[in-house]
Structure 1
Amino acid sequence: MVRRVTLTDISREAGVGAATVSRALGDHPDVSAATRERVREVAQRLGYRPSVTARALRSGGYQTISAIVPDAEWGWWEPVVRAAFEAAAEAGFQLMVHPVAGAEGGVVAVIDGLVNVPTEGVIVIGTPDQHAVRQACDRISFPAVAIDDTSRNIRLPTVSPRNRMGAREVVQHLLSAGYRKIALGRAPTDGDPRWGEGLFIEERVAGYLDALEEAGISVDEDLIVGSADAWDESRTLWPELDALLTSGRRFDALFCIADLMAAPALRTLRAHGLRVPDDVAVAGFDDERAALLLDPQLTTSRQPYRAMGVTAVELLLRAIRDESVPVERHELETELIVRSST
């Protein structure tokens, strides 16, 4: 984490006392205009952040951190934020939530705006570009933690689910139930800026392949079904899956790398007269609300939403206390949830 610029740093660089720096930044009348201008120029060049929170902490007031939530239609992050809020409160901190919500400049602009907010650090959820986030946080000397499974190259301490192991466990469940022709519904790893480098997609595909290999089942490339619009759960049909079924190819189970893909999968299977799970079992990944709203309800791998929120808060508070927090990925266990779709 980058060290916060202090009044002492500005004092040394500007060649005046720390008390003068404090008065200059606070518009005290006994500081000349020239000194005030020189001090402010040095403060800006060094990246000093006038911390409202620091003053509040000295007087026993606010202890606050922030969470930036992504600009996406589906709120998978809501239970993460709820858990983070509870963990922060238990540590005596408040948590403020800042939605990107189409803000011009995206998440970086939201971080830049935190310079005027009484907060001591930030949790960035679902960022597609950790490099830009790291730079933005460095500009205002902000400790930051990411909850992110899209980035291959991380620049922040990062909390993620164990996607590969979770997908492997779902496919192992299908295999243990006797299914052998298991299709994979996957999304492209490029073309959607919300999903960054698409690491979670690759890892879930790898988990599917791991399970088949361990069972001694050859991969049938024809049963790996792409989707040009994987995140639109409202579609009546999944065109690529519809084309596969129209060609006469059959399978006895389908693993979708995200729960949202299961909704058009179920509609497409029914359009071809196939019953779930009698003819084809269907499973997903995430265990977001869509998994419970489908008919039949969806077997899936549940992301460790609560644990991700709690772990992110713990890492951020360590950084705020100036403890060493390495830039590494903290992967948390998923949980297989078996429901009637399998």
Structure 2
Amino acid sequence: MSRRVTLADVSQAAGVGIATVSRALGDHPDVSESTRERVREIAARLGYRPSVAARALRTGGFHAISAIVPDAGWGWWEPVMRAAHATATARGYQLLVHPVDAEGGLTATVDGLANIPTEGVIVVSVPDQDAVRAACDRIGLPAVAIDDTSRATRFPTISAANRDGARLVVEHLIAQGRRSIALAHGFLGGASPEWGDGLFLEERALGYRDALESAGIAVDERLIIDVADPFDETVTTFPQIDALLADGPPIDAIFCAADLMAAPVLRSLRASGRAVPDDVAVAGFDDERAALLVDPQLTTVRQPYEQMGATAVDMLLQTIAGEQVPEHRTEIAPKLVVRASTS
């Protein structure tokens, strides 16, 4: 059986973007008559046959954008997508959510968008922006990214202001009278490609240093602990934290660079006989569900999930409309959420 001709095939033969092909075949008024006729002639020559479902969606005035999300257990992107969905709906668009294809990966998932009626894509946590940029260019699909894992930016990109957020939470610990504050920091070591080059961890470590230096507290390098597999939910405790509590300098607070690291840290503190927060305060970053499930509940920095989702949709629709949106990172301020682990 011969391969079905796709919108991407027609787009390539016609030398126009896939969104233009879709609008031309759907008699969209913003496509000139000459372009519509040329696209239809090429589609007929190639044997393109739109699906019944796609044709029904187009004739019903259907407009859609897509979001590609990580196919992983860490669900920080869920509130982002809820906000993106609400914003897209208010602008007359449906939001289609696609987990990353386990077989072909991120670029295969982007390539697959050529076969559905979508006008643009939001890509969440992009470890290899060059490959995804190339995939989007192949099918003429506008894209923006929600990502704080990689230094490289090949799309308009939205993220939390990680450095500012870390400084905010460490300043809170200092205001509580804590002076010997450890940093539980993740060491990715190239073993976790889904986290890119770990930009967010580096920025949070810089914010930790900023807060201490501004308060006149010397940074003790012995208190910066790189733990392996920081996002492995099966880890009971981090050996590096156990060693710090057994033989290291005395501490009165621990800042965890991500909320998921807090549960092993709290278990280590409990096993060592330290009470939280009386002996050692603990704080995190992200305000995921994990922050509410630990005991005591975790003081943390909440990522601006709602603003990131809404901003991504707004940027993408501007790009679809033909506006020039710069390919740089837009950082949105997070906020401190104080709970029982520090107060």
Global fold match (TM > 0.5):
yes
The 1:208/1:25 distance shift into structure 2, 3 A limit, reads same
1:65 counterpart SS class: strand
Residue type matched to 2:43 in 1?
A: L
Tell whether 2:136 aligns with 1:168.
no
Q: Report the counterpart of residue 182 of structure 1 in structure 2.
A: 181
Tell whether 2:126 aligns with 1:127.
yes
CA deviation string 1:141-167 (max 9, x = no partner): 000010000111100000000000000
Structure 1 segment 177-326 matched on structure 2, within 5 A: 177-191=176-190, 192-326=192-326
In structure 2, C-alpha distance between the alignment counterparts of 1:51 and 1:4, rounded to whole Å? 19
In structure 2, C-alpha distance between the alignment counterparts of 1:17 and 1:120, rounded to whole Å? 18
2:144 counterpart SS class: strand
Residue type matched to 1:273 in 2?
A: G
Between 241-250 and 152-161, the greater mean CA deviation after superposition: 241-250
Instruction: Please report how far the alpha carbon of residue 52 of structure 1 lies from its aligned counterpart in structure 2 after TM superposition.
Output: 10
The 1:52/1:315 distance shift into structure 2, 3 A limit, reads farther
Tell whether 2:175 aligns with 1:157.
no
Instruction: Please report how far the alpha carbon of residue 233 of structure 1 lies from its aligned counterpart in structure 2 after TM superposition.
Output: 3.3
CA deviation string 1:86-135 (max 9, x = no partner): 000000100010011x5212111000000000100000011111111111
Structure 1 segment 62-77 matched on structure 2, within 5 A: 62-77=62-77
In structure 2, C-alpha distance between the alignment counterparts of 1:216 and 1:248, rounded to whole Å? 22
Q: Which runs of 5+ in 1 are unaligned?
A: 8-15, 27-35, 41-49
For the 8 Å contact 1:162–1:332, the answer to whether it is kept is yes
Structure 1 segment 34-183 matched on structure 2, within 5 A: 36=45, 59=59, 61-100=61-100, 103-183=102-182
The 1:3/1:211 distance shift into structure 2, 3 A limit, reads farther
In structure 1, C-alpha distance between the alignment counterparts of 2:17 and 2:43, rounded to whole Å? 17
2:65 counterpart SS class: strand
For the 8 Å contact 1:234–1:263, the answer to whether it is kept is no
CA deviation string 1:289-325 (max 9, x = no partner): 0000010000000000010000000000111111111
1:187 counterpart SS class: strand
1:136 counterpart SS class: helix
1:336 counterpart SS class: strand
Tell whether 2:341 aligns with 1:328.
no
The 1:321/1:21 distance shift into structure 2, 3 A limit, reads closer
In structure 2, C-alpha distance between the alignment counterparts of 1:59 and 1:152, rounded to whole Å? 42
In structure 1, C-alpha distance between the alignment counterparts of 2:253 and 2:233, rounded to whole Å? 19
Q: Report the counterpart of residue 4 of structure 1 in structure 2.
A: 17
* Identity score, percent: 61
2:197 counterpart SS class: coil
Q: Which runs of 5+ in 2 are unaligned?
A: 1-14, 22-33
In structure 2, C-alpha distance between the alignment counterparts of 1:152 and 1:265, rounded to whole Å? 29
Q: Report the counterpart of residue 338 of structure 1 in structure 2.
A: 338
For the 8 Å contact 1:190–1:198, the answer to whether it is kept is no
In structure 1, C-alpha distance between the alignment counterparts of 2:36 and 2:171, rounded to whole Å? 64
In structure 2, C-alpha distance between the alignment counterparts of 1:62 and 1:264, rounded to whole Å? 47
Q: Report the counterpart of residue 43 of structure 2 in structure 1.
A: 25
For the 8 Å contact 1:70–1:125, the answer to whether it is kept is yes
Instruction: Please report how far the alpha carbon of residue 18 of structure 1 lies from its aligned counterpart in structure 2 after TM superposition.
Output: 6.4
Between 190-199 and 75-84, the greater mean CA deviation after superposition: 190-199
For the 8 Å contact 2:54–2:116, the answer to whether it is kept is no
Residue type matched to 1:114 in 2?
A: L
The 1:133/1:177 distance shift into structure 2, 3 A limit, reads same
Residue type matched to 1:232 in 2?
A: D
In structure 2, C-alpha distance between the alignment counterparts of 1:3 and 1:123, rounded to whole Å? 21
The 1:59/1:252 distance shift into structure 2, 3 A limit, reads same
For the 8 Å contact 2:188–2:228, the answer to whether it is kept is no
Instruction: Please report how far the alpha carbon of residue 234 of structure 1 lies from its aligned counterpart in structure 2 after TM superposition.
Output: 3.4
1:255 counterpart SS class: strand
